[in-house]
Every structure is written in structure tokens, then in C-alpha cells.
Amino acid sequence: MMTQHTSKEFDEDLKSLSEMIAEMGGLAEQLVGESISALLSRDLAAAQRIIERDRVIDSLQHAVEEKAVLTIAKRQPMAVDLREVVAALRVSNDLERIGDLAKNIAKRVVALEGQLQPPKLAGGVDHMGELVLGQLKEVLDAYSRRDATRALQVWKRDGEIDAIYTSLFRELLTYMMEDPRNIGFCTHLLFCAKNIERIGDHATNIAETIHYLAVGEPLIDERPKGDLTSTTTISFGED
């Protein structure tokens, strides 16, 4: 936990950095959740709103950067205080990327307008979205509490999202081979799934940052990998 400094304003500076990160996190969670439900319900109006709201995250990121640089210049932080500022910079970067990815999903909802959707496919994306939202919530809670153990759990669990992405990838390929009319729709959905998977990766990045912040050393183990799509092929057989 944060210890008290002789200079009260220094504590306030650090706390307001975390506060801005928490606020960015809340926005990121909301954008991810809403972009996935906009994708599943093909809600154009919601998608447009998400595209607009991403700007708020961007401007918050600039604010965090400015505040962090100012804090370094003014207070010359050392040890855990320095890590605190560096972590805020890193986490805000990841959250900004998460916002972008959610915005990309929303843009695809707009692009998908008017195309038929096989209802069965939605289940996989929904399931993946649920897992990613869970990871994001956990990692942001872990950041607020500076809880390295919880962060480590998030870091270890990313394999689940990768595994489901691999499975979805196979399923979508099968659909495209079944009927070429599915290709347009499935390709968009594939990119959406990839975006969701990338959001999961950013959540693990944040988990790594929390570990570094709390423990002072980077996580060096190889993360369990479940994304096998780079080696997945489906042969054209007789079925």
C-alpha cells in the first residue's frame, strides 16, 4: 500500500494518477462490454456511440501522461514511487489500446449492417467477451488494490481466452468453406474475435505491470499460450 510522504501533495499526485487510471479503466470496461453486445444485437446506434466515446479515453490518456511527466519533474520519485508513476504510464497505454480495439469492433458492427448472421456463431463471441470482461475487471480491481497475487491469476488465465479464440477460428473457417456467402460476414467476425483476444492480451500486460509495481521485478516466466491459430489448418475433405 501507499506509504505517507512528508509532502502531502506528493501523495495526492500519486493518488490522483491512480484515480485517473481507474476512471479510464471504467470507460474501457464499458466500451468493451457495449461493443460486444452491439455486435451480438447488431445495434448500429450503440456502435456509433461507442466510436464517439473512445475519444474520452484518448484525452484521459494524455492527461495521465502529462500528470506523470510533471510528477517526475517536480518530485523526482524513487523506488516504489517511481514505479507507481511508470506503472500509471504503462497501464494508461494499455487501456487506450483496449479502447481502440473496442472502437474497431463497433466499426465492424457498422460494416456488418444488412448481412445475415448465423445465430449459432454468436454464442462463441459472447462467451469470449464474457471471459475478457472478467479478466479486465479482475485486473483493474487488482490495480486499485495493488494486489500482485490477483494480477498473477489474471496473467495465468489468459490461456483460456486464447483456447476459445482458436476454437472459434476453426468454426468460422468451417462456415466459410460450407458456403461462400458466409465469407464476408465470417471475416468480420473473425477480426472481432481477434480484437477481443487482443483486449485479453492487454489485460495480461496490465497484470504484468501490477506485478512489477508491487514486487519490483518483472514477470519473466513464459506465459501459457493457448492461441494456436497460427498453426491451425482445416483440410478440404469429403466431410
Partner 1 sequence: MAEILVSCHCHAAVPLSQQSEEAAMTLVWDGKANAVEGSVFLRRLKRGRIAIGAALVVLAALWGLGLLPLWIAALSAIAVPLATAFTPLDDRATVPVSQTERDADPLAVALLEALNEPAILLTARGIVHEFNAPAIDVFGNLRTGDPVSFALRVPEILDAVRAVGTGGTARTVEYADRVPVDRWLEARIGPVWLDQADRERGNPQFVLLVLHDLTHLRRAERMRVDFVANASHELRTPLAALLGFIETLQGPAKADVSARERFLDIMRSQAARMSRLVDDLLSLSRIEQKQHLRPSTPVDPVEIVRSVVDSLSPLAGERGVEIRSSFPGTSVSVPGDRDELIRVVENLVENGIKYGQSGKRVDVSVTATGPEIRISVQDYGPGIPPEHLPRLTERFYRVDVGESREKGGTGLGLAIVKHIMARHRGRLLIESPSGGGARFTAVLNTRADE
Cell numbers describing residue 52: 464517439
C-alpha to C-alpha distance for 137 and 143, rounded to whole angstroms: 10
Cβ closest to partner 1, residue 81 vs residue 219: 81
Q: Give the binding range for partner 1 (CB under 8 A) out of 24-32, 65-73, 107-115, 207-215.
A: 24-32
Among 27, 89, 196, 199, binds partner 1 (CB under 8 A): 27
Cell numbers describing residue 86: 511508470
Among 5, 11, 153, 223, binds partner 1 (CB under 8 A): 11
Q: Per-residue contact track with partner 1, 72 to 111, x per CB under 8 A?
A: ----------------------------------------
Q: Give the binding range for partner 1 (CB under 8 A) out of 29-37, 62-70, 86-94, 99-107.
A: 29-37
Among 5, 49, 75, 145, binds partner 1 (CB under 8 A): 145
Residue that has been written with the C-alpha cell 493457448 in this structure = 226
CB contact at 8 A, 28 and 98: yes
Per-residue b or e along 145-173, where b marks 16 or more CB atoms closer than 10 Å to that residue's CB: ebbbebbbebbebbbbbbbbbbbbbebbb
CA atoms within 13 A on the CB side of 6: 2
By the rule CB under 8 A, 210 interacts with partner 1:
no
CB contact at 8 A, 205 and 94: yes
DSSP structure class, residue 4: P
Q: At what angle do helices 119-145 and 8-41 cross, to 10 degrees?
A: 170
Q: Which residues contact 173 (CB under 8 A, 6 or more apart)?
A: 186, 232, 234
Our measurement of the distance from residue 98's CA atom to the centroid of its chain's CA atoms, rounded to an integer in Å, reads: 4
Q: Give the binding range for partner 1 (CB under 8 A) out of 28-36, 175-183, 191-199, 201-209.
A: 28-36
Instruction: Write down the least CB distance from residue 220 to partner 1, Å.
Output: 27
By the rule CB under 8 A, 117 interacts with partner 1:
no
Q: Give the binding range for partner 1 (CB under 8 A) out of 62-70, 162-170, 175-183, 211-219.
A: 162-170
- In 3D space, the residue among 21, 36, 209, 52 whose CA is nearest the CA of residue 134 turns out to be 36
Q: Give the binding range for partner 1 (CB under 8 A) out of 65-73, 118-126, 196-204, 211-219.
A: 118-126
Nearest-5° Cα angle at 222, 219 to 224: 115
Among 38, 98, 101, 140, binds partner 1 (CB under 8 A): 140
Site residues for partner 1 per CB under 8 A? 8, 11-12, 15-16, 18-19, 22-23, 25-27, 29-30, 33, 56, 119-120, 123-124, 126-127, 130, 133-134, 137, 140-141, 144-145, 160, 163-164, 166-168, 170
